[in-house]
């Protein structure tokens, strides 16, 4: 118990550097760490009892991946065991003939058939081993693929709230490791099976030779099995003690070489500071490693001593049997061989089972993730949406982030009883202060979140979004969010991924690019549409934030969805590009009849919206046209005050206007 608690706390001392830099040990709350205690609590008996279930998990995955390869592995291993047993019996017969009376020639001639069987079983064993190795090799990557596909296939269909849930993410990280573990488990399963079959073969032969030999085998191998377990536990502890420090050291190494930190590392002289701490941490780790190595060596010595004693006892008993005439010399010779084979198999079995168990903990995480992802999956199917939609209406919609947006103990709703409408074919602007809930609201509009239980309804005409076919909801929406994704793919794919279900048409991509102004970005790219927009790769090209924004708008345009949601589409654009994008978006509503939902802080851009909703602290402060909101008789003043503040700042910033800005300003005040 005391050993466990030392182990559980990380075993190694935490260096002063770690205290200073990280406030203590830098341990991830993931994967390995989670299982440390569980695995270390295991005894030999518990592991033996769990063996069939563990092998079952591996076999189930293997059966899913490649049943034929699995059959080959199982048959080969079983036949190898039988061949080994037959070989041992044949050795017994060879020894019987060789040690019998008669001339050497006669004895050898009589031993020939048994010798042939020994040779044949050895040959067959080799063939079977290579068949099993080949099949295992083919099976392993398939198992990993099946496991990876299984969890990725489930995870990409979970509700967004699951992906944003820290607990789910922790499980996801551990499960990623689980897919790798599933692969390794196959090898350990095969090895375990092989060791078990060899052991059974040796034990069977020993029982036939003399009933007392089996307990002797167990007696002789128990200490070495125990030592394998203790030493591998030590190895595991050592790994953990090392990995915590290695993580911290690795992080310092990264910081010293990272681009993002490079300027401060140089100008502020952070390099020597970090290097000094790196050395202190490394020395702590080295001391810990030395301590563990010595401990492992002591345990090894004790275990070897116990093993030696048990071996002495076994061979002593064998000698006594021979001495007393209870066993023939030939049988004793075979018994020695069988004991050696059996002992080696048992050692191997214990080692493989410990490895198997270690991996299976991660596979268990993987299974838990799959179950959780199924529970939190976006439902498939549902009520169809109306063909010709007239409006999307929020009716007293309340929404709370899991854990609460404000980080308070009792989750506070981010949206409170929001009632508003998005008539189709119009431009609807959403404005409001930072954190007022605009982005959250459009995510509900896009079907990414659902209102709280009992927290109102979002109607797509007469269809409640809760019961609607969510794929149809997604299919009607194009999302150009603040944090739209910069795919590490070519320009063509970065635009064409707006409609991933169809082949990407270059013409359509170019048209979408021309719409957003990304055509100018395209003109400057070395390989045109084929240019990879990801730095760090050969041929990869880096474009600026504003240029990316144009690519993002082109993607939303390419999607050609009924409802285009643009969440601050122009924050990184220069003034001319911004004006152009707003003009283009306006023309979309006019020419294609698309519904545009526009979020922006630049209030002069929403003057042409058909409807403006103003959000404040997660509630609707006011709604109306620009004129209505600016009118003191009809507006509450929330919009008007903000608008006038921005306009006055604009006036104050530009005392003397250059000619080409005059028009823009005049338009602003129109």
Quick check: 439 binds ligand ATP (CB under 6 A)? Answer: yes
Quick check: 451 binds ligand ATP (CB under 6 A)? Answer: no
For residues 595 and 446, the answer to whether their CB atoms sit within 8 Å is: no
Q: What's the min distance (Å) between Cβ of 356 and ligand ATP?
A: 39
Quick check: 399 binds ligand ATP (CB under 6 A)? Answer: no
Helix (H) or strand (E) holding 567: strand 563-567
For residues 385 and 475, the answer to whether their CB atoms sit within 8 Å is: no
Q: Is the CB of 265 or the CB of 556 nearer to ligand ATP?
A: 556
| Closest-CA residue to 370 (of 537, 594, 584, 146) | 146
Quick check: 435 binds ligand ATP (CB under 6 A)? Answer: yes
Among 10, 81, 432, 569, which residue interacts with ligand ATP (rule: CB under 6 A)? 432
Q: How far is residue 301's CA from residue 275's CA, in Å, rounded to a whole number?
A: 39
Q: Is the CB of 176 or the CB of 438 nearer to ligand ATP?
A: 438
Q: What's the min distance (Å) between Cβ of 442 and ligand ATP?
A: 8
Q: Is the CB of 161 or the CB of 499 nearer to ligand ATP?
A: 161
Q: What's the min distance (Å) between Cβ of 470 and ligand ATP?
A: 19
Q: What's the min distance (Å) between Cβ of 438 and ligand ATP?
A: 4
Q: What's the min distance (Å) between Cβ of 346 and ligand ATP?
A: 54
Among 178, 204, 437, 517, which residue interacts with ligand ATP (rule: CB under 6 A)? 437
Q: Is the CB of 270 or the CB of 642 nearer to ligand ATP?
A: 642
SS (H, E, C) 58-127: HHHHHHHHCHHHHHHHHHHHHHHHHHHHHHHHHHHHHHHHHCCCCCHHHHHHHHHHHHHHHHHHHHHHHH
Q: What's the min distance (Å) between Cβ of 625 and ligand ATP?
A: 21
Q: How far is residue 177's CA from residue 299's CA, in Å, rounded to a whole number?
A: 31
* Window of 87-95, 98-106, 275-283, 400-408 that interacts with ligand ATP by CB under 6 A: 400-408
Q: What's the min distance (Å) between Cβ of 445 and ligand ATP?
A: 12
Q: What's the min distance (Å) between Cβ of 402 and ligand ATP?
A: 7
Quick check: 311 binds ligand ATP (CB under 6 A)? Answer: no
Q: How far is residue 481's CA from residue 567's CA, in Å, rounded to a whole number?
A: 5
Quick check: 455 binds ligand ATP (CB under 6 A)? Answer: no
Neighbour count for residue 35 (Cβ, 10 Å): 18
Q: How far is residue 400's CA from residue 416's CA, in Å, rounded to a whole number?
A: 9
The bridge status of strand 611-616 relative to strand 619-624 is antiparallel
Supply the DSSP symbol for 383. Answer: B
Quick check: 438 binds ligand ATP (CB under 6 A)? Answer: yes
Number of residues that bind ligand ATP (CB under 6 A): 13
Q: What angle do CA 282, 286, 292 make, to 5 degrees?
A: 145
Long-range contacts (CB closer than 8 Å, 24 or more residues apart) made by 510-513: 512/554, 512/555, 512/557, 512/558, 513/550, 513/551, 513/554
Distances 100 to 17, 57, 116, 456 between C-alpha atoms, Å: 74, 50, 19, 95
Residue 15: exposure state from Cβ atoms within 10 A (0-12, 13-18, ≥19): buried
Q: Is the CB of 368 or the CB of 616 nearer to ligand ATP?
A: 616
Q: Among residue numbers 591 through 630, which ones bind ligand ATP (CB under 6 A)?
A: none
Q: Which residue spans within 6-67 are E strands per DSSP? A: none
Q: Which residue's Cβ has the minimum distance to ligand ATP?
A: 405
Q: What's the min distance (Å) between Cβ of 487 and ligand ATP?
A: 21
Q: What length does the chain have?
A: 670
Among 224, 352, 358, 414, which residue interacts with ligand ATP (rule: CB under 6 A)? 414
Residues 140-179 vs ligand ATP: string with x where CB under 6 A?
A: ------------------------x---------------
For residue 435, what are its two tokens? 């954190």
* Window of 254-262, 433-441, 590-598, 642-650 that interacts with ligand ATP by CB under 6 A: 433-441
Q: How far is C-alpha 497 from the geometric centre of its chain's CA atoms? A: 23
Alpha helices for 258-390 (secondary structure H): 259-267, 270-323, 329-375
Q: What's the min distance (Å) between Cβ of 436 and ligand ATP?
A: 4
Residue 281: exposure state from Cβ atoms within 10 A (0-12, 13-18, ≥19): buried
Q: What's the min distance (Å) between Cβ of 394 and ligand ATP?
A: 14
106 phi and psi, to 5 degrees? Answer: -60, -45
In which residue are the tokens 């709230």 written?
161
Among 362, 401, 460, 548, which residue interacts with ligand ATP (rule: CB under 6 A)? 401
* Window of 11-19, 182-190, 323-331, 437-445 that interacts with ligand ATP by CB under 6 A: 437-445
Quick check: 570 binds ligand ATP (CB under 6 A)? Answer: no
Q: Is the CB of 290 or the CB of 406 nearer to ligand ATP?
A: 406
Q: What's the min distance (Å) between Cβ of 598 and ligand ATP?
A: 13
Q: What's the min distance (Å) between Cβ of 616 and ligand ATP?
A: 10
* Window of 32-40, 207-215, 399-407, 574-582 that interacts with ligand ATP by CB under 6 A: 399-407
Q: Is the CB of 96 or the CB of 437 nearer to ligand ATP?
A: 437
* Window of 139-147, 428-436, 629-637, 653-661 that interacts with ligand ATP by CB under 6 A: 428-436
Q: What's the min distance (Å) between Cβ of 412 and ligand ATP?
A: 9
Q: What angle do CA 251, 534, 485 make, to 5 degrees?
A: 90
* Window of 197-205, 303-311, 369-377, 427-435 that interacts with ligand ATP by CB under 6 A: 427-435
SS (H, E, C) 570-581: CCCCCHHHHHHH
Quick check: 405 binds ligand ATP (CB under 6 A)? Answer: yes
* Window of 247-255, 266-274, 434-442, 544-552 that interacts with ligand ATP by CB under 6 A: 434-442
Q: Is the CB of 148 or the CB of 549 nearer to ligand ATP?
A: 549
Q: How far is residue 533's CA from residue 517's CA, in Å, rounded to a whole number?
A: 17
668 phi and psi, to 5 degrees? Answer: -55, -40
Q: How far is residue 296's CA from residue 300's CA, in Å, rounded to a whole number?
A: 6
Among 17, 92, 400, 436, which residue interacts with ligand ATP (rule: CB under 6 A)? 436
Binding site for ligand ATP (CB under 6 A): 164, 401, 405-406, 414, 432, 434-440
């Amino acid at each position: 118990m005391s050993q466990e608690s030392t182990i559980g706390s990380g075993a190694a001392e935490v260096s002063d550097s770690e205290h200073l830099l990280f406030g203590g040990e830098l341990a991830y709350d993931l994967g390995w760490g989670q299982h440390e205690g569980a695995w270390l609590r295991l005894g030999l008996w518990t592991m033996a009892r769990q063996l069939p279930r563990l092998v079952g998990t591996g076999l189930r995955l293997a059966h899913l991946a490649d049943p034929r390869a699995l059959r080959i592995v199982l048959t080969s291993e079983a036949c190898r065991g039988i061949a080994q047993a037959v070989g041992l019996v044949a050795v017994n017969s060879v020894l019987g003939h060789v040690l019998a009376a008669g001339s050497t020639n006669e004895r050898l001639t009589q031993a020939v058939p048994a010798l042939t069987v020994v040779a044949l079983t050895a040959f067959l064993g080799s063939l079977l081993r290579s068949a099993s190795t080949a099949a295992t090799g083919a099976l392993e990557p398939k198992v990993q693929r099946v496991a990876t596909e299984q969890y990725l296939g489930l995870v990409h269909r979970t509700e967004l709230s699951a992906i944003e849930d820290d607990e789910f993410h922790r499980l996801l990280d551990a499960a990623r490791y689980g897919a790798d573990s599933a692969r390794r488990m196959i090898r350990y399963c095969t090895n375990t099976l092989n060791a078990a079959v060899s052991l059974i073969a040796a034990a069977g032969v020993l029982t036939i030779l003399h009933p007392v030999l089996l307990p002797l085998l167990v007696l002789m191998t128990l200490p070495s099995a125990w030592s394998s377990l203790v030493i591998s536990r030590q190895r595991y502890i050592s790994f953990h003690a090392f990995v915590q420090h290695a993580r911290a050291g690795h992080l310092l190494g990264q910081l010293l070489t990272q681009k993002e930190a490079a300027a401060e590392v140089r100008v502020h002289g952070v390099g020597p500071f970090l290097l000094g701490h790196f050395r202190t941490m490394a020395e702590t780790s080295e001391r810990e490693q030395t301590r563990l190595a010595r401990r492992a060596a002591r345990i090894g010595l004790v275990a070897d001593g116990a093993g030696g004693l048990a071996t002495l006892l076994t061979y002593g008993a064998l000698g006594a049997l021979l001495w007393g005439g209870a066993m023939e010399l030939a049988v004793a010779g075979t018994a020695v061989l069988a004991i050696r084979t059996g002992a080696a198999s048992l050692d191997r079995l214990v080692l493989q089972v410990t490895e198997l168990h270690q991996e299976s903990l991660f596979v268990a995480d993987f299974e838990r993730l799959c179950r959780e992802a199924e529970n939190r999956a976006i439902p498939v199917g549902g009520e169809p949406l109306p063909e010709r939609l007239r409006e999307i209406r929020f009716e007293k919609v309340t929404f709370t982030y899991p854990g609460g947006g404000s980080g308070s103990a009792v989750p506070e709703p981010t949206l409170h009883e929001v009632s508003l409408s998005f008539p189709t074919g119009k431009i609807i602007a959403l404005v409001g202060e930072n954190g007022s809930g605009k982005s959250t609201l459009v995510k509900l509009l896009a079907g990414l979140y659902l209102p709280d239980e009992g927290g109102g309804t979002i109607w797509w005409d007469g269809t409640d979004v809760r019961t609607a076919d969510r794929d149809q909801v997604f299919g009607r929406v194009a999302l150009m969010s603040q944090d739209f994704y910069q795919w590490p793919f070519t320009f063509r794919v970065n635009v064409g991924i707006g409609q991933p279900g169809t082949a990407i048409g270059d013409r359509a991509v170019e048209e979408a690019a021309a719409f957003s102004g990304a055509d100018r970005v395209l003109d400057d790219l070395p390989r045109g549409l084929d240019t990879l927009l990801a730095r760090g790769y050969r041929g990869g090209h880096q474009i600026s934030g504003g240029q990316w924004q144009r690519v993002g708008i082109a993607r939303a345009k390419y999607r050609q969805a009924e409802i285009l949601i643009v969440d601050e589409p122009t924050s990184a654009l220069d003034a001319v590009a911004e004006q152009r994008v707003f003009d283009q978006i306006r023309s979309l509503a006019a020419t294609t009849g698309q519904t545009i939902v526009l979020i922006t802080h630049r209030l002069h851009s929403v003057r042409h919206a058909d409807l403006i909703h103003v959000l404040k602290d997660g509630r609707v402060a006011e709604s109306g046209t620009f004129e209505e909101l600016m009118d003191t008789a009809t507006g509450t003043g929330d919009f008007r005050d903000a608008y006038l503040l921005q306009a006055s700042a604009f006036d104050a910033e530009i005392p003397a206007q250059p000619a080409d800005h005059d028009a823009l300003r005049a338009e602003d005040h129109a």
